[in-house]
Structure 1
């Protein structure tokens, strides 16, 4: 395959160019724009039996007007004292004008507006400060879009624009906005900012590194143009997958960050290996044509095998049940395949066309007649002296080095193994975001759970909840829900304002008359009196539950679990809800809880599938099951250590009033998948060289030479990969910063500790144990063929101190060719 590809690129370069131009033109002609198909809405992809799905269905059946998916909360506060009549009048005027605005803009999706004048719930929307003279009032707009959807983000953008032009409020009255809709808006806005910042930083970083490595502008341009073109084609190809009916592919917005970062990291590595091999062949005296042909033939197999581990590892994510994971992995795998193809076709065409001018302002690599070709080859290796020192140290003292390395990593890995995942959306946002600012205001006057109350719904065809018997059952369940730890308030049919009802014999005549007058409104709010389907009339009831903690936080998720258990227990025989056929919860906390449930299940499954898939590829390539298992274990150790360091760093940087809740749930998951795939990518390159060298010199000397020869190029590639992942630190989402830090650290650990130390130390140690060799001793058969030590070959040609490009030696490509 690769000889054919080399001939095609050399003799029919115009065919390659036409292929890319036609393919790109077709994608731009038929594939939709990324913005048209991208989805941010995580919460619509849960199985039908999940509580949030059941709850949303019951809400739509029993309370169609209240079946909003997110809320926007206007908070009006006066810090200096109670709200004045003028303040309340201004709030009413604000609500009336906003209602007119929403009616004239139906695309906003505003379903209803609750104010302090709304029957039943209105009085609960005025709160006094917990520790001061201030007072605040809420106005709640219910939207029909889920909080993370693109539709909601656009609606909130329009509303914020409207508010910016709204008339000024009375002096001393301040307005802020929050609620689940604003949280989702801020999440999506931060994600888009992160995409822009990360893309720009990645491109600048790669350009700088390439210029430092090659010092030739045209040579640096080849991988840059190749990968930039691959990114554009990949984005269109991913969007084009949505047009395949039977595939039902979905494009997740945040995928763009991973595509850009991974392609500029791994794709640049592919080009580095090709160009470095091209330089090496020129230095050995080949013509430019023969050198490029040899580079494609020898490096192509190595790159395909290395990329295969990453592609298979990420492709395994397709078996996830959660859309954000299921479609992100294969999308990155597809983009990597495109980048690999471009590196083996488009980059060689550019190298061929530019000829010797590509090395300007320096002279092209060449062979000096009479000079030792091995010495010339070693001169090209970056940091040769350093890697020879590392190789000698590891080979001479494998056991102590292995013990010390594991002793350093083990405590960090222990911390990593004990990390907990954080699902809080507010924790992912910077403190100056509108939703976070508004949430802090609400905390001063209300239970923070008012940001997004959870609605518990019960369907029982045997109970009419408007009858005295039904009311008594509701009262009993309300009492049980109030007893759940973390619940601040429960509003239901029997206590619509959230306060326990006053016994009838203690009520005044005025109170009894007011209660009777309000009964119709109360029943309509908490019982399905206006259900579209007759069989649902009066048989569905709701409980509005307000938690004491942030509705996106772990304490709220724990309280929700206890609430679900309480409702389930109340539906057993002899209990008040016996006969219930449907119990669900609606709201942001419920959706987030189901997100945690589905991702936790997916993580367990993906850890096994990704590890198994990469292990199978390793065994197929290296044919050494025991060594392959050790390679997997070393990468897992590096993963846990990276996770532990990230936990310690970001916990130390945490200065919020809220306690540290752990790393975002995406960090541990994507760190594992990417690190296992990319880490084994580098291990393949090392072990392939070890296997080839040991055929000539034996295991110990072969390992020494493999580390010395591959150390430079793999460390260069690792630095580029770590740098591109590190560019995610410029994002504005905390989760992306955590992930960028952990990925960059993990790649550096793998590049400078796992691959050059843990792996060769194990290989040498196992050989000595298995064969009983003394330290430094070589097998007799191998020692007869041993060449002069690497150090002696460098005496007359000391290694350059500058970071230069290099390639994997010919035996690496020969390994894959065989």
Structure 2
């Protein structure tokens, strides 16, 4: 009898086999209950809340006035202006240009008739201005006030106004002003529920199919992202419906992209580790337990980094920035939850079939990544040359960052495609003073009306000043000024276009002039003042939020890596990558895309996304490097970590870049600028910073990178077999009793 066999062990019999088989079957079925229950819960939530992914538009607002700086002068002026009947309306400016160079009495009468008919439309307030001629008599302009609460019906009403205006014979018609812009914004965002989501998911699916050459795995990853998006949208819908957050089309689009991109990235990290463990282990349950344990920390840390970075936006004084904070954090939380619950359950039930036709064989050998093994060999041979060269390239690009013009996008460039409101604004500016239709608004004490009017009219750059009367906004001839709560409302028409630097300089002079009138308590608002206040507030937000985001990222990295040097190193490299991206954007935007400037919020959004998301990939890399360093030391561990994670992190970076690039289908300059900055920045960080710069720095620093801890000196196991070292894979862990059927 062998020495290791108990003397009392009975010989196997048919009875013992028959009694053990049902027990094994029961145990295997019991292990499937948890993943089955998780899938039932997720599909139940998806069925209940999935429709909300297409319903956020019901609670979204594209009224630009809803996103003014909370404490700015223009915001207070808008609040007080709402007390006037003209203040809570949305004007559409109708411009007629004569094709033969003159307006006769018949055409003027037709224009007046069209304005009166427009005032009777269901969405109009009934208030219009007269049809006023241009100086040379070649054009007329009139203002129709629409209700500010029309929402999605604004576009229909604006189209009805155009149809009426086009009845004037022999003229070219243009529509400009806030209502026309709101109508075009509504049309641009109309595709955000279906077109943007479809393009993003289609791009992700194609990339995953091409990279992983598997049929089921991409579908499972995308399904997890869609379920996460549905739940996130349901939560945001609830908050917006109760007035707790304000959502516009931009925030709505960014939420979809964030959830899809993040859920896909986290899903790829888990599925790649599961595939690796399937090679090392015969039992899929043991493989998933190890894969989940090794993935939960980097995925949770990554989600915390992005969520905290977004929540820092609550410090912003711009309402749309504040809205993106909790909305984006909710989306990231749902993405993490899906990656750590739904996807493990789905992969566990699918097993090796998830990777069909390339089913991972339980051969005890982790897959060899030949390309990344060669990259790791290059890092091992010349680390100092690699990190020095990478820093030179990034620093040269970053030197161009200060040339990026973040002064605000002109109205003519709000859209990347031709839009009726932009055409109407050009026609208006060509025939009337540049600020026509977008005057500066002055709210002042009624008993100082004369002094305030005189002070405003004397400001260089002001073409004229009129009071809001009891009749039409802007003042009907001979009408008495309308007084509300002891205040009057003046409109100062500017000589420069309302969205230009010249108009902003005029508004600043106007503010100085009317503020100097004693006891007038004057406030200056209007479109140009809002642009100036937004620009000033955005600059303040960047100075405040930038260091806070960096501190949050550092805190998460310090807790994750248990060191000080590595977190500082990772945060500094990602920040440098962001500056390099801005430098490239400063060249590409004006000379390739034709943007003369970027929205003031774009640099801040780009910073939050790139720093938080860029650190994600360094988290994925460095957690694996730290794991490997426990076995073989830091200099060897970084090579194994790079080899093991290079493929999945690069794939995740490409997916995220493509996902953000999908924002380009929405014809809005703001989203196009965000799409380029994030897509290019993620690729730069993935292909250069994470692949060469960080590994080379860690290789050169060695154990010092973990200071004050030294993981490479503690808990080190024996060197692994050649196959494991080549792939950077972890050594197989002991199987639990019962072939992995019990928990650890």
Pick aligned residue for 1:690 from 625, 647, 659 = 625
Pick aligned residue for 2:654 from 698, 716, 719 = 719
The secondary structure found in structure 2 opposite 1:449 is: coil
**Larger relative contact order (C-alpha < 8 A, sep ≥ 6)?**
1
Pick aligned residue for 1:595 from 530, 534, 539 = 534
CA contact (8 A) 1:457 1:583 kept: yes
CA contact (8 A) 1:27 1:237 kept: no
Give the distance between the partners of 1:167 and 1:785, measured in 2 at CA: 84
Is 1:584 equivalent to 2:523 in the alignment?
yes
Give the distance between the partners of 1:625 and 1:88, measured in 2 at CA: 75
Q: Deviations over 1:47-86 (max 9, x none)?
A: 675322332344455xx23325432011111132221222
**Which residue pairs with 1:321 in the alignment?**
317
Give the distance between the partners of 1:285 and 1:48, measured in 2 at CA: 58
Give the distance between the partners of 1:737 and 1:810, measured in 2 at CA: 47
Pick aligned residue for 1:250 from 242, 246, 249 = 246
**Which residue pairs with 1:468 in the alignment?**
none
Pick aligned residue for 1:366 from 361, 370, 377 = 361
**Which residue pairs with 1:310 in the alignment?**
306
Pick aligned residue for 1:411 from 372, 396, 415 = 396
CA contact (8 A) 1:705 1:790 kept: no
Is 1:458 equivalent to 2:458 in the alignment?
no
**Which residue pairs with 2:415 in the alignment?**
429
Q: Deviations over 1:563-584 (max 9, x none)?
A: 212222x2xxxxxx2122x211
- Structure 1 residues 627 and 111, CA gap change in structure 2 (3 angstroms): farther
**Which residue pairs with 1:566 in the alignment?**
513
Give the distance between the partners of 2:52 and 2:360, measured in 1 at CA: 44
**Which residue pairs with 1:552 in the alignment?**
499
- Structure 1 residues 721 and 9, CA gap change in structure 2 (3 angstroms): farther
Is 1:392 equivalent to 2:377 in the alignment?
yes
Aligned length: 696
How far the C-alpha of 1:785 sits from its partner, in A, is 5.7
**Which residue pairs with 2:65 in the alignment?**
43
How far the C-alpha of 1:810 sits from its partner, in A, is 7.8
CA contact (8 A) 2:442 2:491 kept: yes
Is 1:86 equivalent to 2:93 in the alignment?
no
TM-score w.r.t. length of structure 2: 0.85
Is 1:708 equivalent to 2:637 in the alignment?
no
**Which residue pairs with 1:127 in the alignment?**
134
CA contact (8 A) 1:68 1:143 kept: no
The secondary structure found in structure 1 opposite 2:293 is: helix
Is 1:71 equivalent to 2:71 in the alignment?
no
- Structure 1 gaps of 5+ residues are 1-5, 117-124, 466-470, 495-519, 571-576, 772-778, 795-805, 812-816
The secondary structure found in structure 2 opposite 1:451 is: coil
**Which residue pairs with 1:626 in the alignment?**
565
Give the distance between the partners of 1:177 and 1:699, measured in 2 at CA: 65
**Which residue pairs with 1:516 in the alignment?**
none
CA contact (8 A) 1:460 1:579 kept: no
How far the C-alpha of 1:330 sits from its partner, in A, is 1.7
The secondary structure found in structure 1 opposite 2:399 is: helix
- Structure 1 residues 387 and 13, CA gap change in structure 2 (3 angstroms): closer
The aligned runs of 1:49-448 (5 Å cut-off) are: 50-60=72-82, 64-100=84-120, 102=121, 105=122, 108-116=123-131, 125-128=132-135, 135-145=138-148, 151=150, 153-161=152-160, 163-164=162-163, 168-170=167-169, 172-193=170-191, 196-242=194-240, 248-360=244-356, 362=357, 364-368=359-363, 373=364, 376-379=365-368, 384-423=369-408, 424-430=410-416, 432-448=418-434
Give the distance between the partners of 2:730 and 2:630, measured in 1 at CA: 17
How far the C-alpha of 1:45 sits from its partner, in A, is 5.3
- Structure 1 residues 684 and 654, CA gap change in structure 2 (3 angstroms): closer
Give the distance between the partners of 1:810 and 1:682, measured in 2 at CA: 25
CA contact (8 A) 1:280 1:807 kept: yes
- Structure 1 residues 156 and 521, CA gap change in structure 2 (3 angstroms): same
Give the distance between the partners of 1:751 and 1:7, measured in 2 at CA: 42
